[in-house]
Amino acid sequence: MLELLRGLRVVADPIALDAARWVGTEVTVLRFAPDDALAIGATGVDLADVHAIVEPDAGFSGAWLPLGAVARHIEWPLPPERPALAQGAIAGVPAKVFLPDGSAGAGTGAGAGDVLLLTATAYADELMDRLR
């Protein structure tokens, strides 16, 4: 079951995002683009960009799942480097998969070899139905 992911969506200068200090426990930062990040679990951020856009975000749902359970529904190559965020159709649904470096996901209930599967909340039920 995919759960609603709450955090902060931040659009800012890439260098400022690189140096950001996130407030919250168990924060997982996903960089959608050099200047765009979703910080799951973040409740605040210290950021050196006066023009940054920082807003609460609850538009994604996700779950930590074994890589094999997700990979068999992907028809494109996963990036070999870690950590990595990849996106495309997963079981025919627009989705993203975060491949941690081993330290990410600690304390989230993620096991060794797990990845974070996420999609827009509007697609969450459809994605889970197709993964079965």
Mean pLDDT (whole number) for 101-107:
57
Examine the domain organization and report whether 114 and 85 are in the same domain.
yes
Total domain count, the chain: 2
Of the pLDDT bands very low, low, confident and very high (cuts 50, 70, 90), residue 129 is very high
What pLDDT, on a 0 to 100 scale, did the predictor assign at position 1? 87
73 and 93 co-located in one domain = yes
Range of 104's domain? 61-131
Neighbours of 33 (CB within 10 A): 9
Helix, strand, coil share (%) of the chain residues, nearest 5:
15, 45, 35
pTM: 0.88
One domain, residues 16 and 53: yes
Check whether residue 65 and residue 127 sit in a common domain.
yes
Do 70 and 33 reside in the same domain of the chain?
A: no
The span from the CA of 20 to the CA of 73, in Å, is: 34
Using CA atoms, how far apart are residues 1 and 4, in angstroms rounded to an integer? 10
Which helix (H) or strand (E) covers residue 77, if one does? none
- % of the chain residues with pLDDT over 90: 88
40 and 68 within one domain: no
> pLDDT-derived band of residue 132, with 50, 70 and 90 as boundaries?
confident
